[in-house]
Amino acid sequence: MILLQVAFIWFHLFYVDGVICPAPWTYFDDSCWLISKNVLSYNDAKNECRDRYGGFLTKVENEKQDSILTYLLEKNSQVKDVKKHRDETSRPLKDCFKKVKGKNAEIAFSNQPGAAVIFTDIKDLKSCLLECEHLRSDFNFNCLSVLWYKETHDCLLNSEKGSGSARATFSIQGIPFNISYYEYQCEEQAELLMKDDPQLDRSNAIKGIISNEIPGVRTCFGKHKHSMLKGFADKIIHSFNERECLSECWKCTDCLPGKGMCKAVNFYKDAGECVMAGVSIKTNADKFNTDETLSDFFDRRRECALENCEEKEILVSFVLDGSESIGADAFNKSIKFVDDTITTIHEISEFWTVIIFQFGTTNYIELNSAQFDNLNQFRTFLAGIGWRRERDSNIVVSIEDAMNVITKQVNKRQYDEVITFIVSDGIGNVSVVEEIPRFVVEFPSVYVYTVALTEAINFNVLSRIGGVNKTYTSNNYTNINSNLQKTLCSFNGNIKKITQKDTQPFSLFSFNNDEPLESLDENEVWLGLQRNDFGELKWIDQTQMNTYATSIVHLLEVEGEDGDCIFRKGIGKWQLTENCSFKKRFVCSFKPTLSIEEKFKRDYWIRADNVTTEPLLLLNSSIVLPPSGTEIIGENMEAGPIINFESTTNKFDVDFIPDKIDVDDKLISEIIRQEKEKNEAKSVDNKITDL
pLDDT tens-place string over residues 25-84: 999 998 999 999 889 999 999 999 988 888 899 999 988 898 889 888 888 775 544 444
- 628 vs 351 pLDDT, higher one: 351
Confidence of residue 685 (pLDDT cuts 50, 70, 90): low
Q: Where does a domain end: 556, 588, 620?
A: 588
- Whole-number pLDDT of residue 296: 92
> 467 and 346, same structural domain?
yes
In DSSP notation, 445-471 reads SEEEEEE--SSS--HHHHHHHH-GGGE
Q: Do residues 360 and 390 lie in contact, with contact meaning Cβ atoms separated by under 8 Å? A: yes
> 367 and 296, same structural domain?
no
Is the pLDDT confidence value at 326 over 90? yes
| Across 567-580, average pLDDT | 88
User: What total number of domains does the chain contain?
Assistant: 5
Closest to 208 in 3D by CA, of 442, 418, 375, 6: 442
Dihedral of CA 78/82/86/87: which sign? Answer: positive
Is the pLDDT confidence value at 647 over 60? no
Is the pLDDT confidence value at 654 over 50? no
> 483 and 577, same structural domain?
no
> 575 and 536, same structural domain?
yes
Dihedral of CA 619/622/625/627: which sign? Answer: positive
Q: Where does a domain end: 588, 617, 649?
A: 588
Q: Do residues 108 and 168 lie in contact, with contact meaning Cβ atoms separated by under 8 Å? A: yes
Q: Where does a domain end: 283, 305, 327?
A: 305
How many CA within 13 A on the CB side of residue 283? 8
Residues of the domain holding 298: 217-305
Look at residue 396 and tell me if it is in a domain: yes
> 181 and 163, same structural domain?
yes
- Whole-number pLDDT of residue 164: 58
Look at residue 140 and tell me if it is in a domain: yes
> 384 and 334, same structural domain?
yes
- Whole-number pLDDT of residue 79: 53
* Bond preceding residue 24 cis, omega within 30 of 0: yes
Look at residue 100 and tell me if it is in a domain: yes
> 115 and 184, same structural domain?
yes
Confidence of residue 275 (pLDDT cuts 50, 70, 90): very high
Look at residue 155 and tell me if it is in a domain: yes
> 185 and 58, same structural domain?
yes
- Whole-number pLDDT of residue 185: 82
- Whole-number pLDDT of residue 676: 64
CATH code of 260's domain? 3.50.4.10
Burial class (CB in 10 A: 0-12, 13-18, 19+), 605: buried
Look at residue 296 and tell me if it is in a domain: yes
596: helix, coil or strand?
helix
Closest to 541 in 3D by CA, of 523, 527, 555: 527
Look at residue 442 and tell me if it is in a domain: yes
Length of the chain: 691
Is the pLDDT confidence value at 663 over 70? no
Quote the strand ranges of 263-333, DSSP E. 264-268, 273-277, 288-289, 295-300, 314-321
> 447 and 299, same structural domain?
no
Per-residue burial over 234-271, b if 16 or more Cβ lie within 10 Å, else e, is: bbeeebbbbbbbbbbbbbbeebbeeebebbbbbbbeee
Report which listed range, 12-21, 35-44, 57-66, 350-359, is most confident.
350-359
Of all residues in the chain, the percent with pLDDT exceeding 90 is 24
Cα-Cα-Cα-Cα torsion 125, 127, 128, 130, nearest 10 degrees, comes to: 130
CA 659 remoteness from chain centre:
43
- Whole-number pLDDT of residue 60: 93
- Whole-number pLDDT of residue 172: 79
- Whole-number pLDDT of residue 563: 83
Look at residue 199 and tell me if it is in a domain: no
pTM over 0.75: no
Q: What is the DSSP letter of 608?
A: G
- 493 vs 683 pLDDT, higher one: 683
Lowest-pLDDT choice from 73-77, 354-358, 390-394: 73-77
> 259 and 160, same structural domain?
no
pLDDT mean across residues, the chain: 74
- Whole-number pLDDT of residue 674: 63
546/566 Cα distance (integer angstroms): 16
Is the pLDDT confidence value at 617 over 60? no
> 297 and 404, same structural domain?
no
Q: What is the DSSP letter of 584?
A: B
Look at residue 133 and tell me if it is in a domain: yes
483/345 Cα distance (integer angstroms): 11
> 316 and 434, same structural domain?
yes
